[in-house]
Structure 1
């Protein structure tokens, strides 16, 4: 370790200690301080770790958490950025927080990494494995279209040609580029492959990456994910090493399914989260963890902060779900459609840098499905409350069941007065963080944000 790196690490660890001892936390500031002193400090911080990088548009946080849970069946310590701070400062903070591995041993780290930060991180740390979840249109002001986003990830992957690339095989773009890396694919194989269908016209990523013809499908899981093939040039889904072979039951709070014909259950709803579990299973199997131990890991899984988190507020069962793009939002709406009890629906829209400043994506969300659900009360809020309020009005939400509250403090204060026991809050990233902060101050969340 160089003198510059040593000074940077000392400053970062000191700031981390101060923030967590006296200020209740801080996920990225120690990393900002450390990288200001030594921009290349990750080279030293990460040299004694086998690193797994998880990236893609949706599902990074839960996939990372599930992988960690699985790896704990084999490893006593697994380093991870559990708060979801996934840019380079947050990654540095994660290493600053960690205990150093024993002399002569290597630790293991599972890192959620923002798509645009894969290359800068791999320039300093050479990972053992990349796990790719999906690529959907998201934050166009930051990433551009899906092809640009994927290229950002590829630019990092190519810097580590020996690393295994474990990808969602149902995502057409992930099989479109030749890579020097070994590749393994996972996906769904729970339906007869005897159809010849096309995705809905408004779906992104359905042009063949080779010849630009419209892709066809033997079956579609959601959006552009499924058993795709091109009738023009023959491009098709690769062979899957790990497969979901059955989806047995879906509820808002649980999913029962089979992978490679063995039954599993996770305590979280949504087809998209079955993909996340499949990715974690695939990592575990690649690293020699038995199917039985993975089953045990899934059964001990807890809700992951802020992505789909259950919180008790008085007598209300509140679920906070992160939304940030049309595909993810539509999957959450699909999850809500499985709710059998009446519920209240709260939508909070911010447009800060971390959310994406362009909110036009809400018009591609299937909010028209909401008035047909058993929703007793709607509420909208956040910095861009006018946008989300108007969107729900156009979707057909009745005015007499819709209250508007821009102030998030008042949104939280309203929760005990909502007419249903169950409350679902859909929030963009910074709105989610603000609501969690308010709930923490009021004592509804213990421990705050790590």
Structure 2
């Protein structure tokens, strides 16, 4: 548990100081938060710094393809009921960003850390987490992410024998396969809307059977484990069968699922579900996501959707037609440069919405919408799109760098 002894060597303290100085210089130059460059410098000066910073913390790691930034925020809010928390709340989720975040939390008891899927095994090795939350795995950044089965295998090998309590979504076969190597797993029925990455058995390659909400492999017997926590409508069911109402300002089924997993994590540290779920109400927006902003005298709601699973969940929470929808897609480094994933998204769900398209890859998106039989207009920029939108709150859906571009334009 967290203590007050100082785990930092003189070299580590120098690394932390240098990292903070570089981060401050980066911020002053208007180049973002500086957390990544600061963390990189600090790790170069002391390669063991992440492990040293984690030494006096109860560390919780959160990883998934979708929802990890939001879930990290929800867990952090819930655990503040039990002590001070340090967290990488802005989503810098690779070792440099994580190191930067932990360097700022000398008084903290808990470290609630979002981790990029590809780095989970390494960060778990460095930080000796008490708890790891695994939410989902689906295709993302096609040009450079290993396919999902390989990521699940990477998690499985990296977590084998881990002493951490693993909180895992039993509705995602890839997550179940990854978590099954761990000796201490708590299964949460958090649901899975996007199923297209889990039709073949991760254990043997056989065809997955999916009767109702259940799933199993007809060939090797790999099957959905029995959950001890579950999302049920607007409630979380705990291991005793008690139903606790979910209090959220964040919209949509996916965020209720995130809250269910977060409540299960909080319980590991003695925070009861009622307290955890009430504290989650504080979270209104997460790094700009779900924010409603005023721009050109219009209300715009900013929604992030980075991959097919994310777009599917986002379509389920937008206002009904004829609410106008602006879609923006880029394909820069942080997005992945391959836009073929657009063909995996069911854009017929936007039927009846006036659609406006922008972003670096607006023409790729336009072709996809054309094939889906949607009516849309291609626009040069956000200003033009907003001027063309008919009345009503505007739903703005964008992938990662397009979302950052939009936030800068609206001053968010």
TM-score (norm 2): 0.89
Task: Provide closer, same or farther for how the CA distance between residues 119 and 229 of structure 1 changes in structure 2, counting only shifts above 3 A.
Answer: closer
Distance, in Å, in 1 between the alignment partners of 2:335 and 2:184 is 34
- What is aligned with 1:204? 197
- What is aligned with 1:85? 92
Q: Secondary structure at the match of 2:356?
A: strand
- What is aligned with 2:68? 60
Gaps of 5+ in 2: 1-7
- What is aligned with 2:251? 269
Greater shift in the superposed pair: 345-354 or 179-188: 179-188
- What is aligned with 1:108? 110
Q: For the aligned residues, what is the CA RMSD?
A: 2.4
1:105-145 superposed Cα distances (whole Å, 9 cap, x missing partner): x6211000001111332332211111000111112222221
Q: What's the offset of the Cα at 1:404?
A: 2.3
8 Å contact 1:315–1:416 — kept in the other structure?
no
Q: 2:330 aligns with which of 350, 353, 372?
A: 350
Give matches, 1:153-172, under 5 Å. 153-158=155-160, 161-172=162-173
Distance, in Å, in 1 between the alignment partners of 2:387 and 2:268 is 47
Q: Does 1:419 align with 2:390?
A: yes
8 Å contact 2:135–2:175 — kept in the other structure?
no
Task: Provide closer, same or farther for how the CA distance between residues 242 and 51 of structure 1 changes in structure 2, counting only shifts above 3 A.
Answer: same
Q: What's the offset of the Cα at 1:416?
A: 5.3
8 Å contact 1:342–1:422 — kept in the other structure?
no
8 Å contact 1:333–1:366 — kept in the other structure?
no
Give matches, 1:9-408, under 5 Å. 9-20=16-27, 23=30, 25-75=33-83, 77-98=84-105, 100-101=106-107, 107-158=109-160, 161-176=162-177, 178-188=180-190, 203-220=196-213, 227-245=214-232, 247=233, 256-260=234-238, 261-336=243-318, 339-340=319-320, 342-371=322-351, 373=352, 375=353, 377-398=354-375, 401-405=376-380
Q: Secondary structure at the match of 2:402?
A: helix
Higher strand share: 1
Distance, in Å, in 2 between the alignment partners of 1:17 and 1:214 is 52
Q: How many residue pairs get matched? A: 398
Task: Provide closer, same or farther for how the CA distance between residues 341 and 317 of structure 1 changes in structure 2, counting only shifts above 3 A.
Answer: farther
Distance, in Å, in 2 between the alignment partners of 1:264 and 1:119 is 31
Q: 1:433 aligns with which of 380, 404, 409?
A: 404
1:121-173 superposed Cα distances (whole Å, 9 cap, x missing partner): 23322111110001111122222211111123334323x62111110011112
Gaps of 5+ in 1: 190-198, 221-226, 248-255, 446-450
